[in-house]
Amino acid sequence: MGSTVIGRGKAVRRSVMFSDLSAQREGSSLLCRPASEDQGPVFERTTIDYSPCTERYRLGERSFSRQYAHIYAARLMEMRPLLSERAKHKWGSDVLIKKLCDLETGEQCCIVGTLFKRMDLQPSILKEISEEHNLLPQPARTKYITEADELILEDELQRIKLEGKIDRDKCVTGSVIVIYGAEKNDGKFTVEDFCMADLPLQTPRPELGSDKFVLLASGLGLGSSKADSMLGLQLLVDMVTGQLGDTGEQSGAATISRVLLAGNLLSQSTQDKDASTKPKYLTKKTQAGSVEAMRLLDELLLQLVASVPVDVMPGECDPTNYTLPQQPLHKCMFPLSSAYPTLQLVSNPYSANIDGVRFLGTSGQNVCDIRRYSSMESHLEILEETLRLRHLAPTAPDTLGCYPFYQRDPFILEDCPHVYFSGNAPVFGSKLVKGSDGQEVLLVTVPDFSSTQTACLVNLRTLQCEPVFFSAFSADEDEESEMNVSH
Amino acid sequence: MDELYLDNIDEYVNDHNKIVTYKWLSLTLGVHVNTAKQMLYHYLEHKRKESSPQLHATYLVSGKLEGNGQTCHHVSLVREDQLEDFKSKMSLIVSVHVYSVQKALLKDSGPLYSVDYDAVKDNLKNCSKYSSIRCTNAVPMSAAELQQFQDVQRAPPPVPESKTSVTNGNSSTASKPSSKPQKGIMGMFANKSAPKSQDNSKEVKSEQKEESSSVTEAVKSKQALKSNPVANFFGTQTKKPDKPAKKEEEVVALEQQHQRTAPEEEQEPAAMQSHKETKSDSRSKTKRTEVSDSEEEIMEKKKRRRIKRPEPDSSDEDVIPDSPPQLKTKEKSPEKEPEAVRPSHASSETKIRKRRKVLKSRTFLDDEGCIVTEKGYVSESYSETEDDFQSTKQAPHASIKAKTTSSSKDDEKKSHKKSSASSNKGTKQASIMGFFQKK
């Protein structure tokens, strides 16, 4: 039987999956007669230290009468010293770092600024309402990039067009980078090399003695008209609460010490604004779809919180504010489950320290938005890109709704997380990224449960992630091969 | 263990034609889930030996599935006929057990979900009672703890909010005052109170920036529930429904300045006593007076504010989280409110209330039961801006008094209507309807 090496000297990093661990646990098969007077085993849920970082993404009083320029200014101000350091590190400490207004033609130097990508297809409200153009509103597209896009670098005072060795399609507006090159005669800056802020410093995580798991799931999609995923969801809940499986699996499930729901708990269909378009007499007694869906969610959460601490993050389709950072769902919507202290309603993005392991993640809006405005397709790739840029959501506030912050940009990563996730991805993906200063980050793209029936289990000790797939049978398939594992 | 359960299951499956899932069985019979699974297995075995009518079962298989270079933990619900097939596909099997037993062959697993859903729904409180994992933290808080929790939540968020509001609010030079949707009663007075509350919050904002007049602080300190021991002297200060949490936060922040308010407040009790009687008759409806009193306070502040500052925007979110606790405090202390209102009202009176003689039309019912409107000088208390409000209040009171003296109910109604109508118009002649009274 494969054994796990736990903390004896240098731990050998073996692939220790949840399945392996559960299979190793002692447990009798349940394909037998019930033993007399045996009440059935009861396992204690593993407890962990938990401290959320609530202040960063909470908004107190909100004022929307400010311009968004302040957030860009704060972003540049905070990232400029970091990037200058990176530049010196990469291109020599004697490299010139200049502001755009001090540029001289032909001089090799570095410039630090915010990227702006001018895209013709970018939806513009001004174009929409402009009467002289007489345009119909642009239909939604999957990608808004074209060949004719231009990259521009902006700093506090000026902007300059970029050309050269920079992959225009990969870049997105709002990223702060440092560029090495020279300004040529035509007024454009020729890029020879560029560099991002890269990973911030990381406090090393403590050595854990035993395997503890955190379950990440997103896109539960409650309240949708097609209820295919409901059984899968029930299986998930049953597994986590220790009802499913035999004793080995149940004791394994007891090591799942926390559940994190990363957004889109309600389905997209609850967002339909039918009520506003239909005449009043047809919609008088009808409730919004989200009301029933929230009730379902409350019942589901009740089953979970009675057994495991749960963090609930709002997502794009959930009843909270639209702009990032999304504020936590209000506990008045959870009359049954909010009685339990194990229910934590948290913001999106979310950051917490779970047993010494720093988790940071969003419900996926930032990644989806970058995907629309760049050539990158894989959510995992985009997630890594945001980590390297040291910014959760560079496209905010340009194309992603964001609160007009004034003196700070809370989306800048100040210290490096150990687990960096984003929810509602089309497929599961995980990758371990190593930084130049010894940082180790596990990137996880949590798949959308309603379409993939897959959740993720992160092992806090080994920092590995394993997908958990739930399936049932249905009339359409005769063959059971549902190999829905990611490719 | 009794074999009774076999009969039970038999009854459910055969007689009631139910789909018996392990969860449903465990909740119905009150046994551990694992025991339920074993029971189902035993029943299946038993029935199959007896070669009774066809029974079908579904199994739960979980294990490690490898495919496309990725391994995943696969939990699957399978039909009995698919069981072996499934098991062979897995690289490592973690658990297999009976999920459900039913008479009919299920093509689709949908009904299994509905059975479980109903079972859980009926037993929401003890859905985890029979599971095999206990969590020590997962104990529902009692009502008292919940209240405590809410109070704790209310107190710290205002403190960080005050910090954020400083950083966010200070910069807004071009910020426009946003009209806060006034809820409930205040909605009736929306036009009046909105600008007033804005001014009020403007003043409150500037409070933070400059340590200014202690008078305003006195007003605010009155609103402080727990933090100010002097305020507790009044014992019953509650938050007004229209004052958002941000007032509290500023009170908390300015706690150290409450010492200054002590001498102020000592003056107030004296004033309070003298004015209590005069204002007692106007307390026909507690809520309305409460509203009007708060309005007077707002105006009082407005008057004192000489420097106008751009008002920082208030957020709806601030109001919403607070409204449940506020509602609670409202419910908890309805008796407290009139009392609280009285001292504050009285104190506000000392500042700006004056009495003057005003020429007013007084309507009353004379001995014959006729409505008579007369002009006369009436001593009336007033404040600079609240003229009209006071006058409208006085007239209905006069008519109410008139009502009590008359005999017939019809007369009362008509007279009430007429008196209000006539007083509103301020007519100088008896209404023509007076002729129809005598009958």
Interface A-B: count of C-beta contacts within 8 A: 307
User: Among the listed ranges A45-59, A197-211, A453-467, which one has the minimum average pLDDT value?
Assistant: A45-59
CA distances from A323 to A483, B264, B284 (A): 37, 46, 47
Counts of helices then strands in chain B (DSSP H, E)? 16, 7
- In this structure, the answer to whether residues A351 and A401 fall within a common structural domain is yes
Say whether pLDDT at B417 is over 70.
no
Q: For chain B, which domains are there? A: 4-133 (3.90.1030.20), 166-438 (no CATH)
What is the pLDDT, as a whole number, of residue A476? 60
Claim to verify: residue A447 and residue A402 sit in the same structural domain:
yes
Instruction: Calculate mean pLDDT across residues B101-112.
Output: 84
Band the pLDDT of B119: cuts 50, 70, 90: confident
Q: Determine, for residues B72 and A467 on separate chains, whether the beta-carbon distance falls below 8 Å.
A: yes
Contact B136 A45 (CB under 8 A): yes
Residue A77 lies in a domain: yes
Name every chain B residue with its beta carbon within 8 A of the beta carbon of A242: 33, 131-133
How many angstroms separate the Cα of B355 from the Cα of each of A165, B361, B398, B399, B438?
Answer: 83, 17, 18, 22, 38
CA gap B179, B195 in Å, rounded: 8
A267 belongs to a structural domain:
yes
Average pLDDT over residues B58-73: 84
Q: Please check whether residue A99 is in contact with residue A84, taking contact to mean a CB–CB distance below 8 angstroms.
A: no
> Which residues of chain B have a CB within 8 Å of the CB of A239?
62, 75
Mean per-residue pLDDT, A322-349: 89
**Residues of A whose CB is below 8 A from B318:** 60-61
Q: Is residue A132 part of a domain?
A: no
Give pLDDT, residue A223.
Answer: 84
Distance (Å, rounded) from C-alpha B161 to C-alpha A118? 37
Chain segment B195-243, per-residue pLDDT in tens: 444 444 444 444 444 444 444 444 444 444 444 444 444 444 444 444 4
**Confidence bin at B366 (pLDDT 50/70/90):** confident
A213, pLDDT greater than 50:
yes
Average pLDDT over residues A318-331: 90
3-class secondary-structure state, position A343: strand
Interchain CB distance below 8 Å, B312 and A330 = no
Minimal Cβ distance to B113: which of A55, A234, A483: A234
Chain B residue with the nearest C-alpha to that of A63: B313
In terms of domains, do A150 and A232 share one?
Answer: no
Q: Which residue of A has its CA nearest to B40?
A: A33
Residue A205 and residue A180 share a domain: no
Identify the residue among B9, B23, B32, B34 best suited for mutation to test binding to A, counting A beta carbons within 10 A and taking the highest. B34
Residue A309, in any domain of the structure: yes
Q: Is residue A261 part of a domain?
A: yes
Structural domain count, chain A: 2
Q: Which of B108, B163, B317 sits opposite A327 (nearest CB)?
A: B317
Is the model more confident about A287 or about B225? Answer: A287
| pLDDT for residue A454 | 92
Task: For residue B325, give the nearest of B150, B69, B84 by alpha carbon.
Answer: B150
Q: What percent of chain A has pLDDT over 70?
A: 87
Local confidence band at A16 (pLDDT 50, 70, 90 cut-offs): low
Q: Are residues A314 and A446 in the same domain?
A: yes
Cα–Cα separations (whole angstroms), residue B3 to A10, B6, B57:
54, 6, 20
- The reply to whether A402 falls in a domain is yes
User: Mean pLDDT, to the nearest integer, of A317-324?
Assistant: 89
Residue B202: per-residue pLDDT: 45
With a pLDDT cut of 90, the percent of chain B lying above it is 0
pLDDT band at A140 (very low <50, low <70, confident <90, very high): confident
Q: Does residue A275 surpass a pLDDT of 90?
A: no
Whether residues A163 and A215 share a domain: the answer is no
- The answer to whether the beta carbons of residues A311 and A344 sit under 8 Å apart is yes
Supply the CATH number for residue A101's domain: 2.40.50.430
Q: How close A217 comes to chain B (CA, Å)?
A: 14
* Cβ <8 Å between B132 and A248: no
The reported pTM is: 0.66
Please tell me which of the candidates A248, A330, A480 has its beta carbon nearest to residue B85.
A480
Query: Are the Cβ atoms of A407 and B171 closer than 8 angstroms?
Result: yes
Q: Do B138 and A306 touch (CB under 8 A)?
A: yes
User: Per the CB < 8 Å rule, is A248 touching B95?
Assistant: yes
| Closest CB to B138 among A66, A234, A342 | A342
Looking at residue B303, its pLDDT comes to 55
pLDDT at B317: 42
Q: Which of A56, A236, A243 to mutate to test the interface with B (most CBs of B within 10 A)?
A: A243
Q: Do A341 and A407 fall into the same domain? A: yes
To test the contact with chain B by mutation, choose from A24, A26, A244, A303 the residue with the greatest count of B C-beta atoms within 10 A, namely A244
Among A42, A61, A480, beta carbon nearest to B312: A61
- Of the candidates A195, A227, A259, which is a domain's last residue? A195
Judgement on whether residues A191 and A217 belong to the same structural domain of the protein:
no
Q: Are B312 and B204 in contact (CB under 8 A)?
A: no
- The Cα of B321 is separated from the nearest Cα of chain A by a number of Å equal to 8
Asked if pLDDT for residue A422 goes beyond 90, the answer is: yes
Q: Report which of A47, A46, A50, A45 is spatially closest to residue A354, judged by C-alpha positions.
A: A50
Residue B242 confidence (pLDDT): 41
Residue partners of B327: CB distance under 8 A and separation at least 6: none
Using a CB-CB distance cutoff of 8 angstroms, which residues of chain A are in contact with residue B250?
none
The residue of chain B nearest to residue A15, with distances taken between CA atoms, is B71
What is the nearest CA distance from B106 to chain A, expressed in angstroms?
Answer: 9
Joined tokens for residue B121: 């729904």
| HSE toward the beta carbon, residue A350, CA cutoff 13 A | 33
Model confidence at B194: pLDDT above 50:
no
Contact A469 B131 (CB under 8 A): no
* Min Cα separation B179/chain A (Å): 12
**Residue with token string 């339990």:** A340
What is residue B84's three-state secondary structure?
helix
Does any domain span residue A18?
Answer: no
Q: Are residues A155 and A234 in the same domain?
A: no
- Tell me which residue of A106, A125, A214 sits closest to A464, measured CA to CA: A214
Q: What is the distance between the alpha carbons of residues B179 and B197, in angstroms, rounded to a whole number?
A: 9
Enumerate the residues of chain B whose CB falls inside 8 A of the CB of residue A68: none
Which of A29, A33, A471 comes nearest B76 by C-beta? A471
CB-based contact A467 B128, cutoff 8 Å: no
Put simply, the answer to whether B1 touches A36 (Cβ < 8 Å) is yes
**In chain A, whose CA is at the least distance from the CA of B83?**
A480
Cβ-defined contact of A30 to B86 (cutoff 8 Å): no
Question: Domain for residue A393, yes or no?
Answer: yes
Q: Which residues from B are below 8 Å from A487, CB to CB?
A: 68
Claim to verify: residue A103 and residue A154 sit in the same structural domain: yes
Count, residues in chain A: 487
Most confidently modeled range among A61-75, A217-231, A465-479, B233-247: A61-75
- Please judge whether B107 and A475 are an interchain contact, meaning their C-beta atoms are less than 8 angstroms apart: yes
Same domain for A113 and A217: no
CA A122 to chain centre: 24
Both tokens of A11, joined, read 């731990």
Residue B293 has pLDDT above 90, yes or no: no
Compute the distance between CA of residue B106 and CA of residue B92 in angstroms, rounded to an integer.
27
- Cα B319 to the center of its chain, rounded Å: 10
Lowest-confidence pick of A45-49, B2-6, B155-159, B256-260? B256-260
Residues of A in contact with B44 (CB under 8 A): none
Contact across the interface for A243 and B246, Cβ inside 8 Å? no
Tokens of B259: 């010492």
Q: Is the pLDDT of residue B329 over 70?
A: no
The token pair at A112 is: 């630090």
pLDDT beyond 80 at B434 = no
Alpha helices by DSSP H, A96-161: 125-129
In this prediction, residue B380 carries a pLDDT of 67
Q: What is the pLDDT of residue A485?
A: 40
CA-nearest residue to B111 within chain A is A231
Does the structure show a pLDDT above 50 at A228? yes
Write out pLDDT tens, residues B371-415.
888 888 777 676 655 444 444 444 444 444 444 444 444 444 444
Between A113 and B418, name the one with better pLDDT: A113
Q: What is the pLDDT of residues B148-177, one digit of tens each?
A: 767 766 655 554 444 444 444 333 333 343
- H/E element, B54: none
Q: Residue B306: its pLDDT value, please?
A: 56
Q: Are A63 and B31 within 8 A, CB to CB?
A: no
CATH classification at residue A444: 3.60.21.50
pLDDT at residue B278, as a whole number: 44
pLDDT for position B438: 63
Six-digit token string for A370: 């970058």
Please list, residue by residue across A269-284, b when 16 or more beta carbons sit within 10 angstroms of its beta carbon and e when fewer do: bbeeeeeeeeeeeeee
In chain B, whose CA is at the least distance from the CA of A48? B137
Residues A54 and A151 in one domain: no
Residues forming beta bridges with residue A456, ordered by sequence position: A216, A467
Q: Among positive and negative, which fits the CA dihedral B220, B225, B226, B232?
A: positive
CB spacing of B73 vs A17 below 8 angstroms: yes
Instruction: Quote the domain boundaries for residue A168.
Output: 68-123+142-195
Specify which of A80-84, B26-30, B255-259, B299-303 reaches the highest per-range mean pLDDT: A80-84
Task: Give pLDDT, residue A263.
Answer: 86
Among candidates A41, A253, A342 on the partner chain, residue whose Cβ is nearest the Cβ of B137: A342
The Cα-based distances of A198 to A178, A395, A437 in angstroms read: 11, 17, 10
Q: Which tens digits make up the pLDDT trace of A76-126?
A: 999 999 999 899 989 888 888 888 888 888 888 999 999 999 888 888 777
More confident residue, B173 or B437: B437
Which parts of A36-158 are beta strand (E)?
A: 43-44, 50-52, 97-98, 108-118, 150-154
Query: What does the block give as tokens for A479?
Result: 């063959």
A231: chain B residues, CB-CB within 8 Å: 77, 109-110, 112-113
* Cβ-defined contact of B167 to A468 (cutoff 8 Å): no
Name which residue leads in pLDDT, B404 or A376. A376
